[in-house]
Amino acid sequence: MTAATLNRVSMNRSAPDADDGPSGRPADDPGESADASTDEPMDTDDRVEAAADELYGVPPDDFVPVRDELVAEARQAGDREAAKAIGRFRRPTQAAWLANLLARERGDQLDALLDLAEELSSAQRTLDGAQLRHLSAQRSKLVGAMAREARRLAAADGHRVTESVEKDLRGILEAALADADVADEVRSGRLTRTVSWSGFGFGGETSVGTGTPRGRGTDGTRRRRPVTRPARRPAERPAEPEDAETDTETDTETDTDAEERAERKRREREERERRERERAEAREAVAEARRAADAAADAEEDAAAALRDAESDRDDATARVEELTAELERAREARTAAAAAVKDAAQAEREAGRAARDARTALSRAEERLAELEEDEE
């Protein structure tokens, strides 16, 4: 058994109560489970279901090796259909795995959060702007608490979760509050994709991908585009009399200082705005790269699944060819034996024919001899 297999067991740990499963739900008796698996062979559907439960409980880095082991076990058991089905399971993204971890380890709390969706959706139709902002803040607080709990659970198992992955998990939970289909996926504990929530209020649209939608902040609200304003110029002063030369020089120096301060502030503001644009562009580039990486990973998973299916079909065809070849060889041997039997039978038939002819000749001679003897007696 590989290290990946050992890791997959550690991720399915029990809740604090030894008699309970994750989220305080009763756990199956391991002895009973072992007896059941020993007494009765597992059918295809049960094997696939058990494999899914196991696979989506392991970290993404262990997913592929564990899946390969389960595929090999199914093939060894002669269940090629289950092997194909297990081979098609997709590896979850890091954020999707955290959502699955919450469904397994904190299922009751997750259900309580997601059950708020209908109440929030109904309340939105009657609340004013201030109340909506308060409700959104409360929702964000609950989502943040669940995301931090998922991060803590992962850390307890030795898995480091980055800020960006936690942010993606928040997006998944927001999407689950807004979309009942996503909520069902999250509750199942078998989510594979990173989804994000877009739109206003609850019941908005969800989109597959990671990162923040273009033009929006981390809380889903639209960001203001940085505005660059021209530097304020001091108003021109009317010409002063010559006898006020000293005051004019002082005023000129003051105006120069003001212009320099304004210019310095303008440059600082432009620098801040430039850096903010660069950070925004960098964040967007990271999000785009993550989406591209997820798409490439999905394409790789599809190609790997197609390869496994092709290899399985090849193995099936090879086994069938071997069976037909053995059957053909047996048929050839039977034909050879039959040909030999025909030859022996033909030889026996010829010998029997000669014996019959000889017997008839002997009979004819004996009858003639008898007739001659009878004539002599007369």
**Per-residue pLDDT at 37 exceeds 90:** no
Stretch 97-113: mean pLDDT: 91
User: Of the ranges 178-182, 209-213, 339-343, 349-353, which one carries the lowest mean pLDDT score?
Assistant: 209-213
- Which tens digits make up the pLDDT trace of 136-165? 777 888 899 999 999 999 999 898 899 889
Q: How confident is the model at residue 13 (pLDDT cuts 50, 70, 90)?
A: very low
Tokens 């008699």 -> residue: 19
Tokens of 240: 């002063």
- Which tens digits make up the pLDDT trace of 302-343? 787 777 778 777 877 887 898 889 889 999 999 999 999 999
- Which tens digits make up the pLDDT trace of 199-236? 544 444 444 443 333 333 334 443 333 333 343 344 44
pLDDT at 245: 52
Q: How confident is the model at residue 248 (pLDDT cuts 50, 70, 90)?
A: low
Most confident of 50-59, 270-279, 283-292: 50-59
Tokens of 23: 């989220």
**Per-residue pLDDT at 74 exceeds 80:** yes
Tokens of 265: 């502030």
Q: Determine what percent of the chain is predicted with pLDDT higher than 70.
A: 70
pLDDT at 281: 83
pLDDT at 250: 61
pLDDT at 234: 42
Handedness of CA 307, 308, 312, 313 (dihedral sign): negative
Q: How confident is the model at residue 261 (pLDDT cuts 50, 70, 90)?
A: confident
Q: What is the DSSP string of 110-130?
A: HHHHHTHHHHHHHHHTT--HH
- Residue 228, SS3 per DSSP: coil
Say if residues 193 and 169 touch (Cβ distance below 8 Å): no
What gap in Å lies between CA 102 and CA 146, rounded to an integer? Answer: 8
Summary mean pLDDT of the chain: 75
